[in-house]
Structures are given as structure tokens and as C-alpha cells.
A and B are shown apart, each in its own frame.
Chain A
Amino acid sequence: MAVTVTFVEFNGATPEHSQGSGPVVANLNLVNADVRNGVPATYPILAGTNSFAKFVQAQWSGSFTKISNAKLWKSAGAYGTDELIKMSGSYSKITPAITSLPDVGAKAVAAIPTSVPASANVAFAKSAARNTFTTTAGCIPNGSQAASSPGYYSGSRSSTIALQMNTSASTAAGATSTKTFSLSYDRQ
């Protein structure tokens, strides 16, 4: 069975591990509201502010023993003036807000890499402990399933990934360019 990846999003104040597997979304537009499938024209980000933070997980479907060494980066699509996407590959979900994602401990939420990172930057859920902010990149076994069903509800999943767009007063109004992201990983 071919391996596929599906992203799911978690909204609201409830911790992600209390929200089940999380719903599949049609898009992850970074907008000025904590909504799924947000329409930028309806919820535009105000220049000089941030988008609401988004909390997502990658879920793998297919047949494999384990996934490890996950790396996420922006592989194409230029930023506009003072436009930046911040990303953490393991973040304890908080109520999404326009406030800049706070650093946790001594670890700042950095800009998403624009080339393949040298080391893994997305951690894996091992239990509810996935809610701890850590860059530890272990691996997640795919249980004893011989082959999981296609779809978001099965297979292995990453830790919660936090995303947020930052802008400045200089950022141009209107739609920004589409970005392409890449996620690589080792599976066995």
C-alpha cells in the first residue's frame, strides 16, 4: 500500500490530545482567526501583526514499521516584504491567538527552514508527553498493524507542529505568494 501523509488541524482551547485524531482540513491558510479552512479575504492578517497560530500534525498511512528523522521546510515560494513563517516541530498546544508564539523554556520558535535542515526538526508523538516542547526526534512505531487504512485516523503521527505568519507594517496588502513545503522522513 502506498504511503501517504495527511495533515490535521487542532483548534480551540482544548489540548490536541483530547481532540482525538483531529479533522482533515482543505487548507491551512494562515489567517486572522482560529478557524479551519479560513478564507484570507474574510480573515485577513493586519499588516504589522501575526496570523493566529495553527497547530497541526502529520499523519502517515500505509504499511511500515516505523517513521523517524522527519524534516519540514519551505521548499519553494518567496516571502513578501517582512513576511515570515515561524514553525516548531513539537509544541505544546495553547489557545490559538494572534500573539507571537511564545518561546518555551530556552527554545525560541524559529523561522521555518528554507532548505533541508541538517537534522530532524519534527518530533514524534509517543504519548500525551508529546505536548512537551522538545526537539527530540525519536521514532514512532506503527503498532502491530500490518497495514493501516488510508485516512487521517490511522497510522503514525508527528508531534504537534505550530505555525504562524509574522508581518510588519511594510508588508504589502493582498494575497501573498503560494508557498510549497516539503516533509521528508525515514521509514522502515
Chain B
Amino acid sequence: MYRAKFTDNTMLDEYDESGKARMFREVLNKQDELEKLEVHLDNGDIFSVDLTKGLFSVTKNEHTMNFYGLPQDFQAQHMLENIRVIYFVRGRVDFTFNKLNNIPEQVEFYALGFQAQTAENKNVQRFLAIQPNGMWDIRDNA
């Protein structure tokens, strides 16, 4: 599930108190105030992106690793502007022509990251592709 944290210290979870799924549109509606987005896996792993710094965090077994999505010297030299969140689920269904009704989705990965523009108007993006089992890699192209 995702958890969005905003600059006004409010949060939005993917599921509300009654367990009903919340549409990501609600997060996007407050994108200008979005500070951090987290993905929580069923195995307890937590992945997050801090949109104020372009900083990723990966927490596994209560150990956390932080790293920048872009080289620090790049971020130091190129002020990032218009930072926006990247979040989507890469879903997939496999089927034969004899099973076509309500085919259940398999999640290939959760994409969590950011896209931004440099002062030179160059677009950059980085996201973590997080598999449901906790394996992940960092990508710059969907």
C-alpha cells in the first residue's frame, strides 16, 4: 500500500479506516504539498521518496538505507525544479483465449520516484521498481 505525507503533517493511506481503497487522484490533488510517498509491502519492507530532496529510503528488517536518486554533484550543480511524484503499479494479466473473464492482475512492480526539470530545462526522472517480494532496482525510464 502507499502512504502519502504532506507538508502540513497530514497523511493519506491507500486504504481508509474502513479498508476501502483510496484513489491516487486524491494524492495528486495535493501534489504541491506532497513531501514524501511511501510504499509498504506485505513483508514489512518500506520504500519512500522524499520529494523535497530527491532522496530515496529503503527499510528492510528495520535497517534503513538512504540514497539520492541522482548523483549529489548533479543535484548540486543543477537545481531541480517542478519536482513531481512518479507512482504507478505495473500490472499484468496472462490468459489463453479460453479464460477471459475477471482475469486477476499480477503486480510486476510498484514504481516510486520523481521527475523534475533542471534550471537548464532538462527533464530527469528516477524511480524504484519494487517487486512484491521486496527486490528492487532503480530506473530512469518507464
Query: Chain A residues in contact with chain B, CB under 8 A?
Result: 1-7, 24-30, 61-65, 68-69, 75, 142, 146-147, 150-152, 178-188
**How far is the CB of B109 from the nearest CB of chain A, in Å?**
10
Residues of B within 8 A of A26 (CB): 98, 100-101
Q: Which of B24, B93, B97, B100 contacts A188 (CB 8 A)?
A: B24
State the majority secondary structure of interface residues on A: loop
Given A65-B25, A146-B23, A147-B21, CB of A184 within 8 Å of CB of B92: yes
Flag if A69 contacts B89 (CB, 8 Å). Answer: no
Given A28-B97, A69-B142, A186-B142, CB of A3 within 8 Å of CB of B23: no
Q: Could you give 18 example pairs across A and B, Cβ below 8 Å?
A: A3-B91, A5-B93, A7-B101, A24-B100, A27-B97, A28-B100, A75-B94, A146-B23, A151-B102, A178-B96, A181-B94, A183-B93, A184-B92, A186-B89, A186-B90, A188-B24, A188-B87, A188-B89
Query: Chain B residues in contact with chain A, CB under 8 A?
Result: 20-21, 23-25, 28, 87-98, 100-105, 108, 111, 142
Complex CA distance for A181 and B103, rounded to whole angstroms:
12
Given A6-B102, A69-B142, CB of A188 within 8 Å of CB of B96: no
Q: Which of A3, A24, A29, A180 contacts B101 (CB 8 A)?
A: A24
Which 9 residue pairs are nearest across A and B when measured between Cβ atoms?
A63-B21, A28-B97, A7-B100, A184-B92, A186-B88, A3-B105, A4-B102, A65-B25, A27-B98
Among A6, A150, A186: residue with most chain B CB under 10 A: A186
Residues of B within 8 A of A184 (CB): 90-92, 108
Flag if A185 contacts B24 (CB, 8 Å). Answer: no
Complex CA distance for A29 and B93, rounded to whole angstroms:
18
